[in-house]
Structures are given as structure tokens and as C-alpha cells.
Amino acid sequence: MAFEMDHFNYHVTDMKRSVEFYEKALGMKVIREMGSPEGPVHFSMMGYEDQRVLLELMWEASHTGAYDTGDRSYHFCVLTDDIENALMLHRSMGCIHEERPGGNCHFIKDPDGYLIEIMKKR
């Protein structure tokens, strides 16, 4: 029996804002969508065309207010071959959560407060 990672899910409060964030901050694209932008539920599957694992953004029309993202440091990580320019971009966007000493990685937060680690490709 074999398993393969397909996607992970974040609930978002504003699909348009979240899609624009992931496009600008991480260079992701919408690979496919399901449901209706008007509700009751809408999904945008985001990622990179040459990679299999996707980020599933889920918006529910009936949900009001912010989501509780918890108090733990759960996150996903993306690699980049240009950590310096990534850091400059994220600083300009105002989404830096934490810069780590050594300049090999930093953390950003998306519009709903989810953490993303940006790590220098080795």
C-alpha cells in the first residue's frame, strides 16, 4: 500500500484577498476551483503547476469572524533559491512574522494569520 500527499486545507475569511496574497507572496497560482464564489462553499486549489501538493483554500459563506488559528507554531514551508529577495518582498508586504538569525529562513503570516515558513533551498 502506498500513500501520496495531495493537499492541505486552510479556511479563509476572504477568498479574493487570500488568493491575491498567495499569488504575490509565494508565486502560487489557482490550479482549480470548486463550488461557487457566492457560496455556500468555495474552494481554490493553489500551488505550482510542476508540483503535486496543493494548498486548498476554503471559504464558507455562513462563517463570520476570524478563524482561530491556535497558539501553536504549525505551518507549511516553501523553499526558494532567492531568500534575500523573498525577504525584501515579504517586508514590503508587511507580512513578516519572524526573521531567523543567519538569513536562511523567515516566517510570514497570511491574511487569516496562518504561518508559512520561507526557507532557502539547499
Domain finish residue from 64, 85, 109? 64
Domain finish residue from 27, 44, 64? 64
- How much is the pLDDT for 119? 97
> Could you give the C-alpha distances from 30 to 13, 15, 84, in angstroms and in order?
17, 11, 26
CATH number at 122 reads 3.30.720.110
Cite the DSSP H helix spans in the chain: 15-26, 83-93
Domain that holds residue 107: 72-122
- Print pLDDT tens along the chain (122 aa): 988 999 999 999 999 999 999 999 999 999 999 999 998 999 999 999 899 999 999 999 999 999 988 887 789 999 999 999 999 999 999 999 999 999 899 999 999 999 999 999 98
Same domain, residue pair 111 and 55: no
**Cα dihedral: 113, 69, 62, 9 (round 10):** 90
Q: With 0.75 as the threshold, say if the pTM is over it.
A: yes
